[in-house]
Amino acid sequence: MSRKPIAVFDSGLGGLTVVAALYRMMPHENFVFFADRARVPYASLSPNLITRYACESAGFLSSHEPKAAVIACNTVSAVALREVEKVFSIPVINVLHPTAAAAAQATRNKRIGVLATSATVKRNTYSVVLNELVPGVQVTSQGCPLLVPLVEEGWTEGDIPRSIVEHYLGSLIEARVDTVVLGCTHYEYFRDHIQHAMGDDVILVDTPRATAAELDQWLESHNALETAGPGSVKVFSSDVTEALYRVVESLFPLNFQVEVSAVSVESLSKFVALPQS
C-alpha cells in the first residue's frame, strides 16, 4: 500500500486542530501540513488574492505527492474551493461541508449559529448548505474578525479574549440557537469560552472530528487507509514563531515528534500558476 502523505492546508494555526484530529483517528498515516502564517488572515483579502495564495499553497503541498488533501480553512473552502481542487488533482476534503452536515444532524430546533470570518459570512456559504440539508432552518451568522489575530499571537486565555468572544455571541444567544458552527478552525482554541457562554444545552460542532471522519471514510472505501506502521506529522509554515511551537506541543503527545520547517513566501509562487477556468 502507498505511503504517500495526506496534505493539509490552512492560512494559519487553526488547521493544526484538524491535523491533530486526523492523526488521532488515523495514527498510521503520514501528514504534511502547511500554514501560510506570513499572509494570515486571508479573510481580509480580496477573493482574487485569497485564490492566488490558496493555489500557491496547494502547489507547494502537491510537490510532496500526497494521495489526498484537506482544506482546513473555511475561508478558502468558501471562496476558492474549485480552483484549489484543480491544483491538487487528487481527492480534496474541505472543512465546510462535513461541518454543515454535522450541524444539520445535531440541531433540534432548526436554529443554528455560525461564527465565521467576514469572507465566509459574506459568501453566505454555510446558510446555503444548511438550507439544503435542513429545510426551514434559521441560520444566524456572526463575523468574528478579532479571533484569528488573537490565536496567531497565542492570546487565547484571559479576560480580554473572553470578553471579545462573549461580544460576538450576543446575536446567537438572542436567536436562541441550539447548535453552533465554529466556521473557522482558529476558533477551536476558544471552544471552552464559547461553550461556557452559550451554556451546556447548546451543541458546538466538532469541525476537526467531522472532517477527519469524512477523510477516514473516503480512504477506507478506496482501500487507501494505512493500518500499520508509525505515522508522522510534518509542519511547514511561511512564518515560524514561538506561538507555532506552543500550539504543536499542546495538540500532540509529548513523546511524538513533529517536524517544523520554514517556507519562504517568495518560493511559493514557483509551485503553481493559477488554474484556468
Give the C-alpha separation, 213 to 98, whole Å: 9
Catalytic residue (one of 73, 76, 96, 268): 73
Structural domain contains residue 15: yes
Catalytic residue (one of 20, 43, 78, 184): 184
Q: According to the model, what pLDDT value does residue 276 have?
A: 47
**pLDDT band for position 153 (50/70/90)?**
confident
Question: Which of residues 208 and 44 earns the better pLDDT score?
Answer: 208
Q: What's the mean pLDDT in 59-71?
A: 96
Residues above pLDDT 70, as percent of the chain: 97
Q: Note whether 199 and 240 are same-domain residues.
A: no
User: Contact 120/78 with Cβ under 8 angstroms?
Assistant: yes
Q: According to the model, what pLDDT value does residue 273 have?
A: 54
Q: Note whether 101 and 83 are same-domain residues.
A: no
Model-level pTM? 0.91
150 Cβ contact list (under 8 Å, min separation 6): 156, 161, 164
Q: Note whether 58 and 190 are same-domain residues.
A: no
Residue ranges making up the domain that contains 17? 6-94+209-271
Query: pLDDT for 34-51, tens place per residue?
Result: 999 999 999 889 999 999
Q: Note whether 214 and 124 are same-domain residues.
A: no
Q: Note whether 187 and 267 are same-domain residues.
A: no
Put residue 54 in one of left, alpha, beta given phi > 0 → left and psi -120 to 50 → alpha. alpha
140 DSSP β-pair partners: 113
| pLDDT > 70? residue 92 | yes
| pLDDT > 80? residue 3 | yes
Q: Note whether 51 and 37 are same-domain residues.
A: yes
Closest CA to 231 of 5, 29, 88, 24: 29
Among 155, 181, 207, the domain boundary falls at 207
Task: Please tell me the least confidently modeled range out of 154-158, 180-184, 199-203, 231-235.
Answer: 154-158
Q: Note whether 84 and 213 are same-domain residues.
A: yes
Q: Is 55 a catalytic residue?
A: no
| pLDDT > 90? residue 270 | no
**pLDDT band for position 245 (50/70/90)?**
very high
Q: What's the mean pLDDT in 227-253?
A: 94
| pLDDT > 50? residue 194 | yes
Q: Note whether 103 and 180 are same-domain residues.
A: yes
Q: According to the model, what pLDDT value does residue 136 have?
A: 95
Q: Note whether 183 and 142 are same-domain residues.
A: yes
| pLDDT > 80? residue 6 | yes
Number of domains in the chain: 2
Query: pLDDT for 12-28, tens place per residue?
Result: 999 999 999 999 999 99
Q: Is 144 a catalytic residue?
A: no
| DSSP string for 125-154 | HHHHHHHHHSTT-EEEEEE-TTHHHHHHTT
Q: What is the DSSP letter of 273?
A: P
